[in-house]
Amino acid sequence: LVEMYGKCGSVGEAAAVFSTIDRPNDVAAWSNILQGYAHAGRFTEVLGLFRGMDLEGTASDEISFLVVLSACAHAGLIHECWRYFTSVEEDRGLRHTLEHFGCMIDVLGRMGHLDDAAELIAAMPFVPGDIEWTSLLSACRVHGDVDLGARCAVQSSDCDPEQATPYVLLSN
């Protein structure tokens, strides 16, 4: 029910159901309420709930952590996002997923930290795909970095030669 209400944008109802759940270490319930608030654009509340999750002693998982990174990204909280990102393995015992890196690349790019985003792509322990390169390419377009944008377009095209998106973004 928490997930359904959250997806429908009824965060109040989701919170009411969530408050009735006996949730000792129920990361799924926490992930659902976090996603509901994020879906409603209530990003600072996502961070507050995440802190509450910690206080209750519920260990986060890769999904709940991705919701928090995404909330920071959409709220423009680049430093908070980076702090969470860099602490995930040490503080939480989680392994980064490709989605965690993708979220960080997106937030760095949207905030104009294009070189940092490119360095993160180069350093991540995954083979970067079309999504990562296209995300950075889109940020290059917004921030006017034609040279890095051209390199991203080539990399993105190498990942998926049939995809027209890099060429469209580069031409704009």
CA distances from 105 to 78, 85, 110, 124 (A): 11, 11, 9, 10
> Among residues 95, 114, 131, which one ends one of the domains?
95
Could you say which of 95, 110, 126 is where a domain stops?
95
Total-model pTM: 0.85
One domain for residues 104 and 51:
no
* Residue numbers of the domain that contains 85: 1-95
* Domain-ending residue, one of 45, 61, 95: 95
- pLDDT tens-digit readout, 9-50: 899 999 999 999 886 678 999 999 999 999 999 999 999 999
